[in-house]
Structure 1
Amino acid sequence: MIDLGISKLALIGAVALVVIGPEKLPRVARTVGALLGKAQRYVSDVKAEVSRSMELEELKKMKDSMTEAARDVESSVQSGASDFEKSWSDATAGLDGTSSTSSYDANAPLGSLEHPVYKHPKKNWRLKQGAMPQWYKARAGVRTRTQSGAARVARFRPRSNSGSR
């Protein structure tokens, strides 16, 4: 890097004062400062982009390694489950009177097993039990129909006694 000390900066300032002149020197100094600031921001943006791309590459490598580990665990669990099902069917073959061959398919999806899925007999029982009866709404004064603001004001406006004047 360039080593700029006080003496070198003073020498550069004196040369610039002689070459550029005292009238234009402040404007040139502002322009040079703005250009140096833009250059520094550009360099910092490039550094940040490079570091982001490096972090992204590291994250991709980590994701790939985790995916591979998950596949290995899944394959070991599936092989262990099929071995367990085979040994279970062999152990329970004589208990229920069936033969030793199993009807279990390790590759079949879970929904295709013989066991039915439980379904609650009442369809929307929470909704039905939480409903408020209409007679209670009418007695308690709960609004069941929407009304515009003008209609509500007209409904509850006190009646004027025009005949008592």
Structure 2
Amino acid sequence: MIEISFGKLVLLALIALIVLGPEKLPHAARTAGALLRRVRTGWDSVRAEVERELQVEEIRRQAKEAADRAHAAQAELDETLRKMRPNGDAAAPAPAPAAAPVDETGVTATAADASGATPTKESSHGGA
């Protein structure tokens, strides 16, 4: 703010003493001090308000960047889903694999059964 050296302050006090006189000088000094305090308080409140606004703007900018990244990630995910499904229908569920039929003896029928190969018995021991 304003820089006043000690010499300038003494010169200002002497001029004020000569102009105002010894009776009015203390009242004038109190008034000047109160005015300076109000100016400083006002300046500090303006500075704090500007800093708050800058913080709000920074938060808004970060939120917009996060939303943009989320939209980009969603678009990338949608594109990946379109590539995985050749018909381009992202809402259609993937077909479930068909279960192999099992006869009464616990033997699983396979495509090899149709060709005449011997069926294998499923082990309940968990082997391997």
Q: TM bucket by the smaller chain?
A: 0.5 to 0.7
List alignment gaps of at least 5 residues for structure 2: 93-128
Distance (whole Å) between structure 2 residues aligned to residue 31 and residue 3 of structure 1? 20
Whether 1:45 and 2:29 are equivalent positions in the alignment is: no
Whether 1:106 and 2:90 are equivalent positions in the alignment is: yes
Identity of aligned residues (%): 35
List alignment gaps of at least 5 residues for structure 1: 88-100, 109-165
For residue 76 of structure 1, what is the aligned residue in structure 2? 76
Instruction: Please report the TM-score for the alignment, with normalisation by the length of structure 2.
Output: 0.61
Instruction: Please report the TM-score for the alignment, with normalisation by the length of structure 1.
Output: 0.49
After superposition, the Cα gap between the structure-2 partners of 1:42 and 1:68, relative to the gap in structure 1 and judged at 3 Å, is: same
CA positional deviation for 1:81: 3.1
For residue 55 of structure 2, what is the aligned residue in structure 1? 55
Q: Count residues in correspondence.
A: 93
For residue 97 of structure 2, what is the aligned residue in structure 1? none
CA positional deviation for 1:31: 0.7
Read off the aligned partner of 1:73 and give its amino acid letter.
A
Distance (whole Å) between structure 1 residues aligned to residue 16 and residue 27 of structure 2? 12
Whether 1:31 and 2:15 are equivalent positions in the alignment is: no
| CA deviation vs aligned residue, 1:14-55 (integer Å, no higher than 9, x gap) | 111111111111111011000000001111111111122122
Distance (whole Å) between structure 2 residues aligned to residue 42 and residue 69 of structure 1? 41
Two-structure CA RMSD over aligned residues (Å): 2.6
Read off the aligned partner of 2:22 and give its amino acid letter.
P
